[in-house]
Structure 1
Amino acid sequence: MRVTIDQEKCVASGQCVTSAADVFDQRDEDGVVVLLNEHPPAELAADVRQAAVVCPALAIQIED
């Protein structure tokens, strides 16, 4: 799995962090998503997929 984010699309809702805090974080100054792990382990795959689904801006892309 490879995760990419589009910080330009991000609306800083924080849903990704709630779903997968080991993979996503937010910048302190504006809340925009920060990718912590581009290749998360398999045990986090379901959480990462959930983060992509709940992202209101569709700023998370996943490649298998």
Structure 2
Amino acid sequence: MAPSNFEHVVRSIASDTNTPAETVSKMYADVWAEYSDGARVLDYLTVLVTKRVRENLRSVSKDRH
């Protein structure tokens, strides 16, 4: 993923979920590593990783309430 696209996605998720960008960046990198390990097709990885990070953050948010 291009660095500028990565930064844009992280900023967008952070803004939408009211989560610090550093936290989102770490989660994104972790999920990216998990999903890309052994993957042969990376075309939709950005979409899948973004979706998983948003779901994880929603889950954490619900657990706090």
Pick the TM interval, shorter chain: 0.3 to 0.5
Greater strand content: 1
TM-score (normalizing by structure 1): 0.32
**Which structure carries more relative contact order (alpha carbon 8 Å, separation 6+)?**
1
TM-score (normalizing by structure 2): 0.32
